[in-house]
Amino acid sequence: MNEPIELSISCNDCVRRGTPDCEDCLVSFVLGDVPDELVMSTSDAEVVQLFTSQGMMPRLKFQHRVAPES
């Protein structure tokens, strides 16, 4: 049985993409050098939260890119 998707992070929407923060982000840690999008279920997110709280994984550094006003 598939769990519903609870969290989807697109690196294309992050202002930190390609910066040193990107290199030390949870998404880069999980996906590698050229991250694109990370999708996690609720149970995945709970495990990640436990690991990051104990310093075993880098934390999520996603910051949403704001679209320019027209």
- Dump pLDDT digits (tens) for 24-59: 999 999 888 878 889 998 899 899 999 999 999 999
- Tell me the H-state helices in 2-69: 20-23, 26-31, 42-53
Q: Which of 36, 59, 44 is nearest to 2 (CA)?
A: 44
Give the pLDDT confidence score for residue 54 in this predicted structure. 95
Average pLDDT score over residue span 6-28: 90
**Mean pLDDT within 1-21:** 83
Residue 1 has pLDDT above 60, yes or no: no
